[in-house]
Structure 1
Amino acid sequence: MPTARLENLVRETTFAEFHSHLHLHWWEPELEEFDLSNGPPPGPVRIIDGGVNGSGDIDMGNGLYVVLVDGPLESSVLLHLWTDRYLPGLVIVRGDLQARTLSFGNGARAFVEGSVFVGDWLFGQYGYHNAVLSAMGGLRARATFLGSYAQIHAD
């Protein structure tokens, strides 16, 4: 199965439209790093309408990025939520996140409004920059491996 790049599944948008899709949450200050009042954001701002149901690996791309998945995010194999060269990345999922294996790190911050279900392994933080995976619902994985600066939160 080929790897699907989320950046190829989305539509580009403005930061104002992106922000208008969100409700107030405790993680909203995360957006400040990307919101530049005097110009465009430092990286692409994208929205995926209706969620993603991938039958193969799903890869976020290199960063900088801000992505809103307006629905569930599912991969039957491997889901990579990370950035290259420690560039910031923000992913907001407005549904559940499901994958057989999930890795997040290198400056990527993922906020899930539903639950996170990982069939096998959950890996957090490649490198030394902070990485966050936060779920408003539950978080379930067979095994979780976190680096010293990675954080996971679930309600």
Structure 2
Amino acid sequence: MALYFTDVFSGSADWIVTDPHAQGTIVKASQGTGYVNPKYEYQYSLAKTNGRLLGLYHYAGGNDPVAEATYFLDHIRGKVGEAVLAAALELAPYNIRVNSVHSGVVETPMIKQNDNSDEVKAFAKTIPLQRIAKPEDVSQMVAFLASDEADYSTGSEFIVDGGLTAK
């Protein structure tokens, strides 16, 4: 089953958010560490009111990835989970499972690109497991959720952040 989504930003007209051909709307919420789409709350609400599957995204500005992720999450925190739950309910009758994996900071080339190793080490000390996630920490969770062992899990959020959220 294919789903059609519209991708909207501050310059998008309302008719794009409510496009009758779309089952979902993905709204640009933020960019970098200094821009929040002034229409994202309105666009998100309009899409939700019109029964769309929901998504939010951050446009990376090429700055410190930890700061950008924090900036994005700070501005969408109240909406985390709504998109997954909506998709899970819509797709369950087709035996399609929808879950989300929320990772903390992951050790990737992007995290190392700005010679910010001191900042990353300092941040790691704030994580209960005292380290930044490795890509395989997240991929193992995703592999489990895609496996038959998780065939009764849908509409759930799985956090892979070394205990930071529980802190």
TM-score range, shorter chain: 0.3 to 0.5
Provide the TM-score with structure 1 as the length reference: 0.33
Bigger strand fraction: 1
Provide the TM-score with structure 2 as the length reference: 0.31
Bigger helix fraction: 2
- Higher RCO by CA contacts (8 Å cutoff, separation 6 or greater): 2
- Flag the structure with larger Rg: 2
